[in-house]
Structure 1
Amino acid sequence: METKPYTPSASFIDLLIDAVFAVDVDGRVLFASAACERIFGYTPQEMLGRIMFDMVVPQDRERTRQSVKYVMAGEPQLHFENRYIRKDGQIAYIMWSARWSPTDQVRIGVARDITERKRAESMRAVLYSISEAAATAEDLNTLFQNIHQIIGTLLPTDNFAVALYDQESDELSFPYHMDEHEPTPTPCKPAGTLCAAVILEGQPLLLTPETLQEHVSEQQVMLAAMPLCWLGVPLKSHKGTIGVLVCKSYPGGIRYSEQDRELLQFVSTQIATAIERQQMQARLQYMAQYDQLTSLPNRALLYDRLQVALLKARRERGCLSLLFLDLDKFKLVNDTLGHHVGDLLLQEVARRLKQCLRESDTVARVGGDEFVILLQLIPLPEQAALVAEKIRHALCPPFHIDKHVLNIVPSIGIAHYPEHGNDEAQLLKHADQAMYLEKHSRDRSRQTAELGLPE
């Protein structure tokens, strides 16, 4: 039987599942098949005259420009992928095959919607990336930056924040906050914020233009700028809700969907685990380097900083000084008034010491009532003696501790590099000995005065 040729009509193209487009030199749509409404949300009539490039997600525009150049240079593009903002504000992932018609001066392209496939691929990649970020991030801020980039592969995140919630203090802080219209909020109570409902109920919250204004009014939320959409997902752990992941868009931007909410919720548990792990590492590192009572650097951190300072001083032929400080009669405070008063006294001494120093200096607690101060970038050794006098003056006013008035006198020994040693052990030993000489001299003077003998 002879096969009769079939000449398709224009309606034949409209039966295709993929969308067919013809675009002129300026990127303006000259023809769009019926499938474009399913993929982009616009009817073919609405597409006519529209510039396709304006619909491309901003992050994909440069790649798209390069692809268009290749097509118009006579190099057909097969399986090129980019993202578009649909009429309803949601994101569509598109795979294009396109070529240029020199005769008609148009680009002819076929667009296939691959949103579901790309989301599935992205989810697998995101879960792996979060695990890798949790293992490699040096600190919480780096982890937050990595999480922002990772989530950005799932949905637009131009305005993104990590809010952490402390249940004990009922305080919400924003250690990571990227927003084009709103400054970073200061720590506050959750009440009166959009995060409050997420923390209270432990459930995701998607606010769209239809629901946002009503929610803001009911909850009496104060906003620097009204978003178009607000999406918040709780960060949950075995302790409960430890924070909220926040994505926002502003008028003219994309609209978040229930599918976006589900995606963010899907990865939130792993993100919460990564944050808790990093917080634990930060706490362990802090405990290893800082004194738990005064929050000053401990002996180990002092040694690290002293080693670095000595390397710099040797390289630049500079100077540095160490002050070794001990509180006279501190044991008497502990024995007569109790360790609680002694601890409060040490905390107040630490506070006054920090006020005497520059940012480049270090004050560390190295023993019960012993402190060491590292003075870097000291041009002349005499300046260390001036700092010591400043410290004596700062510690001279009485300490009002737990209804007690205490007068504390410090003994301070000073060591200079390179005059009194070439390494940290020699310098610390010299400063320690100088401190004991001062203490012994003061005790002997006091005893001599009590006996009425000439000094």
Structure 2
Amino acid sequence: MNQLPSALDPKAGITLGKVIDLLLDAICVVDAHGRYVFVSAAFEHIFGYTPEEIIGRSMIELVHPDDRERTLQAANEIMAGQPKPHFQNRYVRKDGRIVHIMWSATWSEADGMRIAVARDITELKRAELMQVALHAISEAAHSAEDLLALFRHIHLIIGKLLPARNFFVALYDGKKDELSFPYFVDEHDVAPSPSKLDSGTPSAEVIRSGQALLITPGTQVVLPEQVGPIIGRDSLDWLGVPLGTQRGIIGALVVQSYSGDVRYTEKDMALLQFVSTQVAAAIERKQTETWLQYVARHDQLTSLPNRELFHERLHTALVNARQSDQRLSVLYIDLDRFKLVNDSFGHDIGDLLLCQVAERISRCVRVSDTVGRIGGDEFVVLINGIDLPEHAMAIAEKIRAAFDSPFELAGHRLQVSSSIGIAMHPAHGSEEKQLMRHADDAMYNAKRQGGNRWLMTAEPLPQESPQISLQS
């Protein structure tokens, strides 16, 4: 059934069927079971299927998977006598492209048919979505707590513009020559390991060249010789665009598909390029915020937590320890005769020494523990979940012994030791200041005994200490 027998006035010389086929909007007739029984000629232009290919097929098969539930609900409401003059949903064309459709539909009780007019509003919707996306990206740049949260927001935003089930962000660090994948969502693969820019991957080529890249079975793309295959499972379509800022290309946005249900075109590439500038600015802004927050809370020389961050973590650890009735320990570490190193070899060598000291101490503790530098040659360690004082002593000895090997510093071979003081919660206090004072005092006692040793504080301090006033 793909012909309408009714005709206009014979003098007009045109049949009703011809008029219908000249319309730019598609007329569709669907039976009570949701199967097409008639479509006009415009149907092929909008959806890609000829009338012969579509008659008898279920209407819902063509609807975008994410829109099927509400489309069926709307169809039931239409058959219940509620016309829908402006219903909008998405369809998947025969070639895999997504089209946005606005329907005007009603139900003919006498014929048991649903009659609808479909208008392709893809370009209009695309323009609307682009403006909405730009605003949403700007909002996300301000509201996201961190980069990962920003990437999640961007994924959701781009997913409203084009199919983005498989989506990732690649970022390039020029100083390290490292291409990383901090956000990677894929049906089949996990995030690749960091690599060099000359790794030969398509995403690396997008960043290197600064040009968008669309790879499909139907496109003739001439890739440079150094560009190898896609990492992981081969995708059917691969689309990547560079993230450009005033300081250059910082990364790439990539979407890919593994089946003919989702295909990417030049229009999709233009769309992704349109939002990429805003995305790049949002990422750069968040990177700057993250860096400033990091600098404010970390020692610039060793990258260890500074005094403020260490005390914040100690405070949190004490709250948790009191609630769970657990022990923790604070180690206060001071280098022996560090001033002699600075005086004899200069501050540059002293700075190198402090960096290597930070590395050696960090290797002696768990990832869950905190090593901080609170000034000069003074380091502190927060050890969570200590069962026995002997465990804290063992870690202190491990740190002390880590200094036994000489430090190789720009052609100088230096032997440096440390003095370490240990305080335990709750044995030596339940407050930050108490524990820090205990550990500090124990450290100075170790230093008075010749250094290169650790000492556990002897007994808890009184709850209140007398105030001492210094006047000049």
Taking structure 2 as the reference length, what is the TM-score of the superposition?
0.87
In the alignment, is the contact (CA less than 8 A) between 2:202 and 2:228 conserved in 1? Answer: no
Residue in 1 that maps onto 2:228: 220
Cα offset for 1:96?
Answer: 1.4
Q: Which amino acid aligns with 1:366?
A: I
In the alignment, is the contact (CA less than 8 A) between 1:212 and 1:229 conserved in 2? Answer: no
Are 1:171 and 2:178 an aligned pair?
yes
Cα offset for 1:46?
Answer: 2.3
Cα offset for 1:108?
Answer: 2.2
Q: Which amino acid aligns with 1:395?
A: F
Q: How does 1:248-267 map to 2 (within 5 A)?
A: 248-267=256-275
Instruction: State the distance in 1 between where 2:392 and 2:333 align.
Output: 13
Give SS of 1:131's match: helix
Give SS of 2:379's match: strand
Residue in 2 that maps onto 1:391: 399
Give SS of 1:235's match: strand
Q: How does 1:99-178 map to 2 (within 5 A)?
A: 99-178=106-185
In the alignment, is the contact (CA less than 8 A) between 1:206 and 1:261 conserved in 2? Answer: yes
Instruction: State the distance in 2 between where 1:212 and 1:246 align.
Output: 19
Residue in 2 that maps onto 1:282: 290
Cα offset for 1:198?
Answer: 2.3
1:312-344 superposed Cα distances (whole Å, 9 cap, x missing partner): 233334332211011112222222223333222
Cα offset for 1:274?
Answer: 0.5
Structure 2 CA distance for partners of 1:399 and 1:256, relative to 1, 3 Å: same
Are 1:331 and 2:339 an aligned pair?
yes
Instruction: State the distance in 1 between where 2:83 and 2:205 align.
Output: 51
In the alignment, is the contact (CA less than 8 A) between 1:228 and 1:253 conserved in 2? Answer: no
In the alignment, is the contact (CA less than 8 A) between 2:406 and 2:416 conserved in 1? Answer: yes
The runs of 5 or more residues in structure 2 that have no matched partner are 1-7, 454-472
Cα offset for 1:238?
Answer: 0.8
Are 1:230 and 2:238 an aligned pair?
yes
Residue in 1 that maps onto 2:462: none
Cα offset for 1:350?
Answer: 1.6
1:23-77 superposed Cα distances (whole Å, 9 cap, x missing partner): 2344322111111122112222222233322222222222223223323444333
Give SS of 1:219's match: coil
Give SS of 1:415's match: strand
Structure 2 CA distance for partners of 1:383 and 1:212, relative to 1, 3 Å: farther
Q: How does 1:220-369 map to 2 (within 5 A)?
A: 220-369=228-377
Cα offset for 1:271?
Answer: 0.8
Instruction: State the distance in 2 between where 1:179 and 1:329 align.
Output: 55
Structure 2 CA distance for partners of 1:360 and 1:199, relative to 1, 3 Å: closer
1:149-174 superposed Cα distances (whole Å, 9 cap, x missing partner): 00111111111111112233333211
4+ residue runs over 6 A deviation: none
In the alignment, is the contact (CA less than 8 A) between 2:333 and 2:378 conserved in 1? Answer: yes
1:161-212 superposed Cα distances (whole Å, 9 cap, x missing partner): 1111223333321111112233311111233111243223322222222236
Cα offset for 1:94?
Answer: 0.3
Larger displacement relative to structure 2 (143-152 or 81-90): 81-90
Cα offset for 1:413?
Answer: 0.9
Residue in 2 that maps onto 1:452: none
Calculate percent identity across the aligned residue pairs. 55
1:239-291 superposed Cα distances (whole Å, 9 cap, x missing partner): 11111111112232322222212211111111111000000011101101111
Cα offset for 1:214?
Answer: 5.5
In the alignment, is the contact (CA less than 8 A) between 2:400 and 2:452 conserved in 1? Answer: no
Residue in 1 that maps onto 2:42: 35
Give SS of 2:197's match: coil
Give SS of 1:311's match: helix
Instruction: State the distance in 1 between where 2:178 and 2:100 align.
Output: 39
Instruction: State the distance in 2 between where 1:312 and 1:165 align.
Output: 39
Q: Which amino acid aligns with 1:181?
A: H
Are 1:207 and 2:215 an aligned pair?
yes
Give SS of 2:450's match: helix
In the alignment, is the contact (CA less than 8 A) between 1:206 and 1:229 conserved in 2? Answer: yes
Larger displacement relative to structure 2 (196-205 or 242-251): 196-205
In the alignment, is the contact (CA less than 8 A) between 2:372 and 2:381 conserved in 1? Answer: yes
Taking structure 1 as the reference length, what is the TM-score of the superposition?
0.90
Instruction: State the distance in 1 between where 2:23 and 2:297 align.
Output: 66
Counterpart among 84, 90, 106 of residue 91 in structure 2: 84
Structure 2 CA distance for partners of 1:360 and 1:83, relative to 1, 3 Å: same
1:367-424 superposed Cα distances (whole Å, 9 cap, x missing partner): 1211111122223334322221222223323333333333222111112223333321
The runs of 5 or more residues in structure 1 that have no matched partner are 446-455
Structure 2 CA distance for partners of 1:216 and 1:156, relative to 1, 3 Å: farther
Instruction: State the distance in 1 between where 2:185 and 2:54 align.
Output: 34
Give SS of 2:385's match: coil
Instruction: State the distance in 1 between where 2:273 and 2:311 align.
Output: 45
Residue in 2 that maps onto 1:453: none
Counterpart among 38, 61, 68 of residue 61 in structure 1: 68
Structure 2 CA distance for partners of 1:426 and 1:140, relative to 1, 3 Å: same
Give SS of 1:147's match: helix
In the alignment, is the contact (CA less than 8 A) between 1:94 and 1:115 conserved in 2? Answer: yes
